[in-house]
Amino acid sequence: MPPINERLHGTVSVFLKERETIKYDLICILDVFGRFAALEMNVDLDELAAKVSRVAAELE
C-alpha cells in the first residue's frame, strides 16, 4: 500500500486466513495435482499440510 499520513512508509496490513479457509485451500491444491482429499472440514490441517509437502517433494 502506498504511504499516506495515517499509514507511514514501511507499514503493512496483515490479514490472516481462518483455519477452515486454509483447509479448503490445501484441499484445492491437492485436487490440482490429482491427489484428492475428502472435502470435509473435519480433516486434520496438519495431515493436509504434510500431504501437500509430499506432493511438492515429488515435483522437485
How many Cβ atoms are within 10 Å of 16's Cβ, its own excluded? 7
Q: What digits encode the pLDDT tens for the residues 13-39?
A: 889 999 888 888 888 888 887 776 666
Cα–Cα distances in Å, from 48 out to 4, 10, 14, 28, 38? 40, 34, 24, 11, 10
pTM of the model: 0.57
Angle formed by the axes of helices 45-59 and 19-32, nearest 10°: 30
**Per-residue pLDDT at 18:** 92
